Amino acid sequence: MQTNASYTSLVAVGDSFTEGMSDRLPDGSYRGWADLLAARMAARTPGFRYANLAVRGKLIGQIAAEQVPVAVAMEPDVITLVGGLNDTLRPKCDMGRVRGLLEESVEQLAPACKQLVLMRSPGRQGPVMERFRPRMEELFTCIDDLASRHGALVVDLYGAASLGDPRLWDVDRLHLTSEGHRRVAEAVWQTLGHEAEDPEWHTPVPATAPPGWGARRVADARFARQYLLPWIGRRLTGRSSGDGMPAKRPELSPYDDLS
């Protein structure tokens, strides 16, 4: 790992996690860890450029076809790639195909930048995630292997106790809160070799009294009505939450204030 590294450009590739859901700004748009990371990098590098190609709901095949070639053509200093997790949450998931597409993406991205960054995505505690955990861990094993072979860095968010805490996840139970995204940005920042601003980002948040039975049932009902049932509906009809949506920042352009 480099220390005191100086990079002049960043391209983020992926799905809703990298798009920034659910770190919502007052105008209704999403910020997220990639924007926060870009802000830090721009603060120390005049003329810093940033692109975020991520779109919610994208599967690894779509990321490989739609985003990877664009990122390669941009030839930035740093590329972050987080993808494949949406695939693992599908009832019918061909993990061999997922691994193959991820490998193809890494083989294209690694030579196109000075530093490729991969991630072991965070995993929320709970019974739903337990069902898909073996697939997730198979994906992470593949990521570790690819990083070793292609000189990529791996940010281990899955092993961070703090990010497994349900309190750092939004009410949809699929996306991190603003505090969760802040911690992810810190983790990537440190992995890139920069001095820690929050050395304890992985430390669990202080314990609080758990919500009562009634509050939990109300939250469960709200989750099912607003998020789970629409998610199931999209799966049954082959639709995605990102259908027709453009990338949030499709051009590699000078960074501006995203806060």
Mean pLDDT of the chain: 86
**Which domain range does residue 92 map to?**
9-210+247-254
> What pLDDT, on a 0 to 100 scale, did the predictor assign at position 169?
86
Please check whether residue 33 is in contact with residue 24, taking contact to mean a CB–CB distance below 8 angstroms. no
DSSP letter string, 81-110? EE-SHHHHTSSS--HHHHHHHHHHHHHHHG
Q: How many domains are contained in the chain? A: 1
Report if residue 259 sits inside a domain. Answer: no
Considering only CA atoms, which of 105, 23, 35 is closest in space to residue 67?
A: 105
* pLDDT tens by residue, 241-258: 655 778 999 999 999 755
Which of 48-57, 115-124, 196-205, 218-227 has the largest mean confidence? 48-57
Whether the ω angle into residue 22 lies within 30 degrees of 0, i.e. cis, is: yes
CA distances, 200 to each of 3, 92, 94, 95 (Å): 19, 38, 37, 34
Q: What span, in angstroms and rounded, lies between the C-alpha atoms of 203 and 92?
A: 35
pLDDT, one tens digit per residue, over 162-212 is 998 888 988 776 889 999 999 999 999 999 999 999 999 998 877 665 666
Per-residue pLDDT, 219: 53
The model's confidence at residue 237, banded by pLDDT at 50, 70 and 90, is low
**How high is the pLDDT of residue 100?**
98
Distance separating alpha carbons of residues 181 and 198, to the nearest angstrom: 13
Residue 149's pLDDT is 98
Residue ranges of alpha helices (H) inside the chain are: 16-19, 33-44, 60-62, 68-74, 85-88, 95-109, 127-150, 178-191, 213-223, 229-237
For residue 121, what are the CA distances in angstroms to 15, 175, 253?
A: 12, 11, 27
φ and ψ at residue 49, rounded to 5 degrees: -120, 150
**CATH assignment at residue 197:** 3.40.50.1110
Residue 222 within a domain: no
Amino acid found at 245: M
- Domain for residue 216, yes or no? no
- Predicted confidence at residue 256, as pLDDT, reads 78
Determine, yes or no, domain membership for 132.
Answer: yes
The CA angle 28-32-37, to the nearest 5 degrees, is: 140
Is 220 part of any domain?
no
Identify the pLDDT of residue 3: 45
Residue 237 carries which side chain, given as an amino acid letter? Answer: T
25 assigned to some structural domain: yes
The confidence band for 161, taking pLDDT boundaries of 50, 70 and 90, is confident
Tell me, yes or no, whether 237 lies in a domain.
Answer: no
| Closest by CA position to 14, among listed 80, 93, 77 | 80
Task: Tell me the C-alpha distance between 81 and 58, whole Å.
Answer: 12
Q: Which of 109, 193, 95, 122 is nearest to 149 (CA)?
A: 109
Q: For the CA atoms of 78, 241, 158, 216, what is the dihedral angle to 10 degrees?
A: 150
For residue 259, the model assigns a pLDDT of 45
The answer as to whether 137 is a domain residue is yes
Instruction: Render pLDDT for 7-39 as a digit per residue (tens, 0 to 9).
Output: 999 999 999 999 999 898 988 889 999 999 999
